[in-house]
Structure 1
């Protein structure tokens, strides 16, 4: 049965605002050195995805990163380590072109590319290494929830967690064009443009899009993401890829963790109970920012709540099963 849950998350007193919650981990969180085994997944369309394995015992959990994310994202190695400490093996899935190596095809990764997740699942199924659970962060959370809704009862996973999801992609992109959130938009746009330029150089493609004139993520998606991936324009891409319309079809036990003050999206885009499928629990906190959720009494001893909440949910569901 779908449910709305009031989160027990309470922000650190020294990080009271959504922007401080969002920025602190990115600026100050330490990356953990991990022993990783890397592997390449060949996709049906001739492209590839790079994955990284960690741990040798326990149920396997797949992690999917956010926009322009990678193993260098502040939550990546730390969440892998937290899951490993809780008894899980982990598999980190880089989206196309996000592993430091440009992908082969002109098309790119995007928020609704569930076919890439399907191909990865099939690759793992053939290896008899199918994950028991999956965790998606931000854009990766949107992709995950879309997949779970599309697959319904045929989902490959026994449990799922989605964190700080942009339920309505157009609304989220427009939100990033206002106020202090423009800081995040400019940062992400610089990374998108840099990645696109590197890819064009690797494929000897001339800059016919004149990317230097692009000033917003909406423009980037309208002129590059949408066209490269078979959409008419940005609006078509956002409409077809936003996960909100797929939530009601999810039957996999799924926890969505979301802060009402997330500066990447509008509060009115948070789903209501009637929007959720029978497998979904939406856990809402008043504070937490975007993939922040930092607690702790002292600034030099921060506590990252996600590293506790995500493993706890997965252990609860998988033990029950």
Structure 2
């Protein structure tokens, strides 16, 4: 096995290895019960992001922090979010999720949204948390879009200003152009239709109200049929990119993986229907990265059978990583790499 690249320990239940079954199964799992408190974090440009904190929080202000970044049009109610936040809470972490702009309970204020390479808000949050909890080690975790964003963020953090103990990236679409094209073929088009519908439903009322500086009519918005079309017409012009191709090139984390020295666990399934085969084959990995690839798992699926019931292997693997990092927080957690479960 090539250094940095490992076979994941995930094994799907008999008869449930299909990529689409694995992708959809998490929606059928009973979610952990979580008590949440909400906070609006002001951003430097006058906008806000909504934080969801798991309660009760640890009493110790030095308890480690687990910060979760969701996927495209996700939220704290996404199935994976509940499982991952619960796993962190059970291991003594102060756990929270940052909603990207407009993904909380209310629309965001500024004439913009969020995208796969938008690292500024996450950077702002992590620096604010460092000031609020100066003695608390911090771990960040991203899922899908949030995973690509997180990998790009820590690659940009060359001087280690964020001082993260570690990072976890789950199903990161590190080649955004290739992933967008993958979603235009076969059954994957159903996922694209679902995501595109959610994006349009959020943008349509703001566009009709004249809140967005876009040369786009509501009727043309309705006719957009692919995510690439949407990124050409909405994402790119809203966020300073020339077009979708320019956005995909500048926002993809893949070309920057070689720069990552922060201990980072990347979890990927070879059969992820959102991504092309061999997504990581030609990418150079930084010394901090441990890439674990499973033959099966779908997109953010990884559902196993445990004690006679379906359960999230993903949450179990993340929990094992959090346990490992927590036992090494003193005296020098930065020297510890991700390890297998």
Class of the TM-score when normalised by the shorter of the 2 chains: over 0.9
Question: Which position in structure 2 is the counterpart of 1:193?
Answer: 200
Aligned to 1:256: 266
Q: In terms of mean alpha carbon deviation, does 107-116 or 207-216 score higher?
A: 207-216
8 Å CA contact 2:111–2:211 kept in 1: the answer is no
The offset of 1:238, in angstroms, is 0.3
SS of the residue 1:186 aligns to: helix
Contact 2:91 2:322 in 1 (8 A): no
1:23 matched to 2:24: yes
The TM-score normalised by the length of structure 2 is 0.88
Residue 317 (structure 2) aligns with: 309
Query: Which residue of structure 2 aligns with residue 33 of structure 1?
Result: 33
Corresponding residue pairs, total: 318
Shift in alpha-carbon separation, 1:248–1:2, aligned structure 2, 3 A: farther
What is the RMSD of the two structures over their aligned residues, measured on CA atoms?
2.0
Is 1:65–2:70 an aligned residue pair? yes
Partner-residue secondary structure (3-state), 1:196: helix
Deviation at 1:204, TM superposition (A): 5.0
Instruction: Show CA shifts across 1:34-80 (max 9, x none).
Output: 21121111111111111011142231100000000001211111211
Change (3 A) 1:234 1:131: farther
| C-alpha contact (below 8 Å) 1:293/1:306 kept by paired residues | yes
* DSSP 3-state at the match of 2:168: strand
Unaligned runs of 5+ in 1: none
TM (norm. structure 1) is 0.93
- Is the counterpart of residue 145 in structure 1 residue 151 in structure 2? yes
Distance in 2 (alpha carbons) for counterparts of 1:297 and 1:160? 26
Q: How do 1:73-92 and structure 2 match up within 5 A?
A: 73-92=78-97
Match of 2:336 in 1: none
Q: Using the alignment, how far apart are the partners of 1:42 and 1:200 within structure 2?
A: 24
Residue 289 of structure 1 is matched in structure 2 by 298
For each residue in 1:182-221, what CA deviation from the matched residue of structure 2 results, as whole angstroms up to 9, or x when unmatched? Answer: 1100000000101112433566559636211111111000
What is the Cα deviation at residue 128 of structure 1? 2.6
Higher mean displacement: 215-224 or 200-209: 200-209
Q: Which residue of 1 aligns with 2:170?
A: 163
SS at match of 1:302: strand
Greater helix share, structure number: 1
Deviations along 1:74-118, one digit per CA (max 9) or x if unpaired, are 111121112211222201110000002111111110000001111
1:29 deviates by 2.3
The 1:203/1:50 distance shift into structure 2, 3 A limit, reads farther
* Deviations 1:242-292, CA, capped at 9 Å, x for gaps: 0001111111100000001111001222245x6111110000111101000
43-52 or 170-179, which moves further after superposition? 43-52
Partner of 1:56: 57
Pair 21,234 (structure 1): closer, same or farther in 2 beyond 3 Å = same
Structure 1, residues 113-136: CA drift from partner, whole Å, max 9, x if none? Answer: 001111112222332366610110
Distance 1:193 1:302, change over 3 A: same
SS at match of 2:275: coil
**Distance of 2:222 and 2:126 partners within structure 1:** 37
How is 1:230-245 mapped onto 2 (pairs within 5 angstroms)? Answer: 230-245=240-255
Distance 1:38 1:202 in 2: 28
Q: Equivalents in 2 of 1:319, 1:199: separation in Å?
A: 48
1:171, distance to aligned residue in structure 2 (A): 0.4
Aligned mates of 2:43, 2:238 — CA distance in 1:
17
Deviation for aligned residue 1:234: 0.3
Gaps of 5+ in 2: 334-341
